[in-house]
Amino acid sequence: MKQAFIIMQIGSSELDKVCEKAILPSLRANELDPKRVDKHNQGGLLKNEIIGFIENSDIIVADLTNERPNCYLEIGYAMGVDKFRNLILTAREDHLPGNPNHKVGGPKIHFDLAGYDILFWNPEKLDEFREELTKRIRRRLVIVAPSNATQLPIWDEEWLKENRNKALAGLTNNGRTGFMEIRHALIDFQIQVSPKNLLLAAEQAQIHTFGWPIGIVLPTPQDRPRPRADGITVEISSTFNAYDYWVLRRNGDFYLLKSLFEDESGRSKSDVIFFNTRIVRTTEALLHCARLYNNFEVDPTVEIEFAIKYGGLENRKLSSSSPSRMLSYYENREEKEIEMVEHIHLGSIESQLVENVKKFTAPLFSLFDFFELSDSVYEDIVNKFVEGKVT
C-alpha cells in the first residue's frame, strides 16, 4: 500500500479534528496509508523518522495553520529532496489575507509559501474540505505516478539544431565567438499559445535590471519580434557589437543565444569572464523563465528542463566587473565550451533561487583554475539583483 505523510501542528484539538474528519478519510479514500509522526514514530530519532516519512511518501499533506516553524521546516525539506510534486498544502481560511475571517496581526501564510496553491478549509465545512482534498489527492497521484509509456523526447532536435546554427552564424557575422545559450522546455506538460499571446508574455517576462534584458522585445521595425508558424523569433545585431537571437514556440520551448556582455564594445578585450556578471545573467535567466511560464499559467509543480551553455571560453581569464569584487586572474587555457543541464520544478526556481544559480555557474567557474565562490557571495549578488541592484 502506498504511503502518505501528514505535516501539521501537534497537540491542537481543532487540528486533530480536521485530521480525523477530513485529511485521514481523504487519504484512505485514495488507498494511501497515512502516517503522522506523533502517531507512528518507531522510537528512533524524531528528525530521522520525519525525514524517512517525507522521502518514502507518495503524497504529503502539509497544513500551515498556526504558523508552526517545524511545519515550514519539514515542507522546505520536502521541496529540497524533490518532493514538491507530492506536496499538497492546506490551511484554515482565516490565514488568507482578504478572507472575511482574517484578523490583522493574526496568523497568516508566510510570504515564502504565499504564492503557492493552497487548499483553505473552514472548520464549519469539513465535509466540503474532505471532498475537495480527496479530488486533489487523486489528481496528484496521477501526476506523480511513473509512466509505463515510452517517454517522448523533451526537445525537437531538428528545431534546436536549426535555430542554433542560425544563431551561431549571426554571432560570427557580428565578429564574436563568445556566447551564452539558454534553453528551457516543459516536461510532460502541454500548452499551445497563439503568436500574439506569446509576444504579450515575452514583453511581460523581461527584467530591466542589467543591460539589455534576456528575451528582449524592441519596438523598432528592424528589431521587433517576427511571427512564425510555430511561434515568434527575434534577431538583433547592434552597433555595440552585441548580438541577440531568441525563439519562443507555441508549446513553450524557449531558445536564446546572445553575445557576452564582457565582449561588447568598450568593455573589455574579449578575453575575460566576469564572475559577478555571469551570476547576474543566470539569475535573470531563471527568473525570466519563471515569469514566462507564469504568464502561461503553468502549474508550479510542472518540471522543466533548463540548460545554459557557454562557448568561446578558451584563453579567457576569470575576473570581476566591480572594483568591490576584484580578484586575481584565474585562467582557462583549453576548454572551449561548457553546458549545464538540470531538471527543476517551476515553483522551485524562486524558492531555491540561490541554489539554482550556483548549479548553473559553479561548473563554469571551476574551469578557471578550479575557482570556487562562497555561498555568501552567491547569495549577496543574487539578492541584490532581485532588489534591482547590480554589483
Q: How confident is the model at residue 45 (pLDDT cuts 50, 70, 90)?
A: very low
Contact 31, 59 (CB under 8 A): no
Percent of the chain residues topping a pLDDT of 70: 94
b/e string for 74-100 if b means 16 or more Cβ within 10 A?
A: bbebbbeeebbbbbbbbbbbbbeeeee
| pLDDT (average), residues 294-315 | 93
What CATH number was assigned to the domain covering residues 2-144?
A: 3.40.50.450
pLDDT band at 3 (very low <50, low <70, confident <90, very high): very high
Which of 296-305, 322-331, 370-379 is least confident? 322-331
373 C-beta neighbours (distance < 10 Å), count: 17
Residue 44 has pLDDT above 60, yes or no: no
Amino acid letter, residue 107: P
User: For the chain, what is the mean pLDDT?
Assistant: 90
Q: Is it the case that residue 122 has pLDDT exceeding 60?
A: yes
Domain boundaries for CATH 3.40.50.450 within the chain: 2-144
The arithmetic mean of pLDDT across residues 242-252, rounded, is: 95
- 334: confidence class by pLDDT, cuts 50, 70, 90: confident
Which grid coordinates are listed for 22?
Answer: 477530513
Alpha carbon distances (Å) from 367 to 179, 285, 337:
16, 21, 10
Contact 249, 159 (CB under 8 A): yes
What confidence tens digit (pLDDT) does each residue in 74-108 have? 999 998 888 888 999 999 999 998 888 888 888 99
Say how far apart CA 170 and CA 162 lie, in whole Å.
Answer: 13
Check residues 240 and 262 and name the one with the higher pLDDT. Answer: 262
**What pLDDT, on the 0 to 100 scale, is given for residue 329?**
74
